[in-house]
Amino acid sequence: MVVTASLSKSHFTMRTTLLLALTIASLTTRVLAQGTLIINPVPVTNGITGTLADSSIIAALYYGPAGTPENSLLMLAPASPLVNGFALFGSQTSIPGFAPGSSVTIGVRAWSLGYPTYEAALASGLPSVLAGKSILATAIIGGFPSPPPVPNPLSFPGFTVYPIPEVSTSTLVLTGFATIIFWRFAQRRHRKTDEIGASCRCRH
């Protein structure tokens, strides 16, 4: 009876240890499969004041496989406010879905607080909203704790956020041109109709 209980306890301990080892291995594999980048703080300037932007501007990383067109890049994580005029991304940034050694295209975008994405800020059409983006960079992501990413760290030159173009203004200009053209066409057609009518009356 004692022997059976001892064997059962030993089997339970071994099973628990095995499950723990498998869990740790699984977590380690996930971390390695993500890959990491180390990104220096990126300065962002307010295009109206000419000084570093404040925390009313938020920033996020946009990424994709190397060679991805700029308008197809995805936002990596929710945007966060600037700190003393700099976009900060922590000491290590995880890149999901890319194994260490993979090449990625990556960039920084910043915009006014109150919009979840850069695209939403642009779509607002409000000149009070500021937005801007960095140049794009290509990097080779690293692992944890090795190999290191290339370049290490990744540095972006600073960029500026400006008031976005007011969509309604450009729309009004185009609408105005279209209205003028249509009005002139209608006037010519009306004048021609009057001339034909007058000619017919003269004949009678």
- Average of pLDDT values for 158-177? 68
pLDDT at 150 over 50: yes
Least confidently predicted of 21-25, 34-38, 81-85, 143-147:
21-25
Taking the model in full, what pTM does it have? 0.67
Q: What percent of the chain has pLDDT over 90?
A: 56
CA distance 47 to 54: 12
- Of 71 and 5, the structure prediction assigns the larger pLDDT to 71
CA distance 204 to 49: 75
* Phi, psi torsion values for 140, nearest 5 degrees: -105, 120
Best-predicted range by mean pLDDT (12-21, 117-126, 171-180): 117-126
The model's confidence at residue 9, banded by pLDDT at 50, 70 and 90, is: low
- Average of pLDDT values for 136-164? 92
Contact (Cβ atoms closer than 8 angstroms) between residue 62 and residue 74: yes
CA distance 160 to 131: 8
pLDDT at 21 over 50: no
| Three-state SS at 45 | strand
What's the token pair of residue 32? Answer: 């390695």
What is the predicted pLDDT for the residue at 65? 96
What is the predicted pLDDT for the residue at 114? 97
DSSP state string for 47-70: TTTSSB--TTEEEEEEEEETT--G
CB atoms within 10 A of CB 56: 12
Residue-wise pLDDT tens digits, 76-127: 999 999 999 999 998 788 998 999 999 999 999 999 999 999 999 999 999 9
Element (H, E) at 82: none
